Every structure is written in C-alpha cells, then in structure tokens.
Amino acid sequence: MLKRSDAPVSDDISAQPLFPLAATDLVFADRGRTLIDNLSLTLDGRGITAVMGSNGAGKSLLLRLLHGLLTPTSGAIRWGGNPLSDEVRARQAMVFQRPTMLRRSAADNLRFVLNHLPRNERDRRVEELIAEAKLDHAAATPARLLSGGEQQRLAIARARATEPEVLFLDEPTASLDPASVHAIEEVVRTIHADGIKVIIVTHDIGQAKRLADDVVFINRGRVAEQAAAAAFFERPATDAAQAYLEGRLQF
C-alpha cells in the first residue's frame, strides 16, 4: 500500500493540486538526537495555519522538511499525493527565520527572482512589490543595511514575487515593532486573500489569534495538537499547549 502511493499519480505534476499535504511518520535525527520524532500531519489548502511550540520544539525543522530543504531520516511527505520534487518546491516559497539578503540593493533582491520576465515588466513588478512592502524609501539601499523589520518585509515580498501556491513564514514578525507587525500581518492577509496557503510559525499568541484558521502545536518534535484556532486557544487539549499559552516552562 505504501509502495503504491510512492509513485507520482501522473507525469505532469505542475497541473495537480498540492493539497492535501500529508506527512507520515516523519523522523529527523542528527548525531543521535531525534529532533522530529514520528511526526504525522495532514493539512488542506485552505486558510492560514499557525505552527506553534516552544523554542527548539522543531518548528523550523518541520518547515524545512515540508519544503524539501532537508531530507527526513525516515517517513514520507506527499503534496497532493506526490513526493517532493523540484516541481513541487517551485510552487512554494519560504521566508526563513533569519532572512537571507543578497548583497545587492533591496530592489535588486526582488529583480533577482523575477529574472524570467522581460525587462520593463520586471521593473514594473519590482516597483509594485517595493510599494506594497512599504520600502519606497529604501529601494536602492543595500538590502543588508535595511533594518530587521525592513529585511523581513523585503524577504516576504521576494517570496511573494515567485508567485507560490504555498508560503512558509518562519517567525516573520519576531523582534519587530508593533507597526511593522501590523504591516506584515496586512501583507499576510493579502497573500491569503490571493488564494495562497500560508503556513506561519509564530510565538505571538495575539498574532495567531488574529491570523490563523487552525493551529498545529509542536512539542518535542511531534504534533501534540492540531485544532481550529478558536478551539485551540479556548481549550488547549494538552498540558504542553496549556503551559505554552500560559507562559509556563515545562520540563
């Protein structure tokens, strides 16, 4: 049975839906530590999913595994029944916890991923994205000199420029001021309204309540809880989630 689902359903993966996403018995171990521990997870393509959990729980690792940047020690990941491939990854984008800024201006960071467009169309798109990210004042500034919040906004704009169907955001508003948090949440809403599935890691409970339709709570490399956002914040089912939401340390 497992064997059968290993094979792609058809050759033209690009025409097939990416959802449901199914991760089955995922294990990621490194130097004897099991960091992702038999994790199973199913997600559909609607809504914004918040991934929550304590520091070191394995949230960033999970995103890397789902996006195909890391290979699981064992277990399987299927996007709409298909295993990860370059084609599948090309339909996704990821903003890292510490965004990578190319050694170029902010605008050139965007231009870099719009390489396939004819020049005038590309310039127009760059201008749009710069405006949307509220970076007009900094378009010509070397990206690595932008403030933390500006870099986050640029990284999101760059991810968006690739026109993904799935967007992974790893703590996009950590260490940002309230106005920047607000600006990024607005962008996330716009992205979601465009029909893009957003999977966002956040420690900001208020943000998760504002944005998320459902929550995946990770504890020690496993999915401890997966629920609709309202239900999760109302009645967390596990002690770990309760402790996390109340700000208690758990050992």
Partner 1 sequence: MSDSGSIFSLALGLVLSGDAELWSIIALSLRVSLTAVALACLIGLPLGAFLAVVKFPGRDAVVALLNAFMGLPPVVVGLFVYLALSRSGPLGVLGLLYTPTAMIIAQTILVTPLIAALARQSMADLHVEYDELFRSLGLSMSRTIAALIWDGRYSLSTAALAGFGRAIAEVGAVIIVGGNIEHVTRVMTTAIALETSKGDLALAMALGLILITLALFVNSAVLTLNRTARRLAYA
Ligand X SMILES: Nc1ncnc2c1ncn2[C@@H]1O[C@H](COP(=O)(O)OP(=O)(O)OP(=O)(O)O)[C@@H](O)[C@H]1O
Per-residue interface string for the shown chain with partner 1, residues 50-89, x marking contact by CB under 8 A: --------------x--x-x----------------x--x
List the one residue from 49, 60, 202, 207 that touches Mg ion (CB under 5 A).
60
| Alpha-carbon gap, residue 72 to 76, rounded angstroms | 8
CA angle (236, 242, 244) in 5-degree steps: 125
Say whether residue 20 binds ligand X (CB under 6 A): no
| Alpha-carbon gap, residue 207 to 199, rounded angstroms | 13
Of the ranges 31-39, 65-73, 93-101, 222-230, which one interacts with Mg ion (CB under 5 A)? Answer: 93-101
Say whether residue 55 binds ligand X (CB under 6 A): yes
User: Could you say which of ligand X, partner 1, Mg ion, none residue 149 binds, taking C-beta under 5 to 8 angstroms by partner kind?
Assistant: none
Strand ranges for 7-156 from DSSP E: 21-30, 33-43, 48-52, 74-79, 92-95
Strands 214-219 and 197-201, bridge-based pairing: unpaired
Say whether residue 48 binds ligand X (CB under 6 A): no
List the one residue from 21, 23, 35, 129 that touches ligand X (CB under 6 A).
35
Amino acid at 94: M
Of the ranges 33-41, 89-97, 124-132, 160-168, which one interacts with Mg ion (CB under 5 A)? Answer: 89-97
DSSP, collapsed to helix, strand or coil, labels residue 2 as helix
Interface residues with ligand X (CB under 6 A) are 30, 35, 53, 55-61, 97
